[in-house]
Amino acid sequence: MSRELLGSTAKTFARNPELAGLDINSLQITSLDPLNSIRSLRGLDCSRNQLPSLDALKNMVQLRALYCGQNQISTLEPLNALSLIELYCNDNQIKTLEPLRSMHQLERLYCGGNQIEDLSPLKGMPIYALDCSRNNISALDPISSLNPLSGLGELYCGSNFISSLEPLRQAENLGIWIAAPTRSPPWSRSKI
C-alpha cells in the first residue's frame, strides 16, 4: 500500500468517525504517519509489514486492540498512554515491556519472539492470555503478581531460560500452558 493510499484511508476515517477498525496487514507499509490524526480508531491490524515505529499511534486514545506483530518495532514507548485490552506485538525487536506498566486493562498480551528479559512490568494486570515464548526470560515470578493470578487462562512461555514453574502454582484457571522446551543459557553449553 502506498503512502498516498494510506493517507487516503486516513482521510476517509476523518470523514467517518464511526469507523472503528482498520486492517492494513501484509501491505509492506513502512510508516503509520498518515494515520496520526485519527482519534476514533478502536482496532488496528498493522501486522506483517515493515514498520520500525508505532509513534503515529500515541494519540489514538480510543485504541483498544492493536496487532503489530512481525514488523521491525523496537519499542512500545508510544503506547504508554493508551488503554489497550489486546496487544499482539510478537516477532519484533522489543526489549522491554516497561511502557505497558500503566495498562491496567490489558487482558491479552502476545509478545513472543522478541528480546524481552523481564515480565515485572506486568505486575497487577488482569491478563488472561500471555504469550512470552521465544524471548530471554529467566523467571516467571512476576506472573504470580497478576491481578488476579487465578484469572490467567493461557500461558505460552517455551523457548526461554525459565528454570522453575513454581510461580504458576496459584494459577488455578490456567487451562492452556506450554512451558517446554526451554533454552539453556549459552554458558551452560560451553566446555569451560
What is the structure's pLDDT at 116? Answer: 98
Where in the chain are the domains?
3-187
CATH number of 3-187: 3.80.10.10
How far apart CA 67 and CA 43 sit, in angstroms, is 8
How far apart CA 47 and CA 127 sit, in angstroms, is 22
Provide the mean pLDDT of the chain.
86
Each residue of 112-129: b (16+ CB within 10 Å) or e?
bbbebbbbebbeebebbe
Could you tell me which of 165, 146, 148, 147 has the C-alpha nearest to residue 156?
165
Cell numbers of 187, please?
554458558
Identify any residues that bridge with 177 across adjacent strands, giving them in sequence order.
155
pTM of the model: 0.87
Residues 15-38 have pLDDT tens digits of 666 668 999 999 999 999 988 878
Residues of the chain with pLDDT under 70: 1-19, 179-192
How far apart CA 98 and CA 86 sit, in angstroms, is 16
What is the structure's pLDDT at 95? Answer: 98
Cell numbers of 142, please?
512476576
What is the structure's pLDDT at 3? Answer: 55
DSSP-derived letter for residue 140 is: -
Could you tell me which of 6, 56, 54, 58 has the C-alpha nearest to residue 28?
6
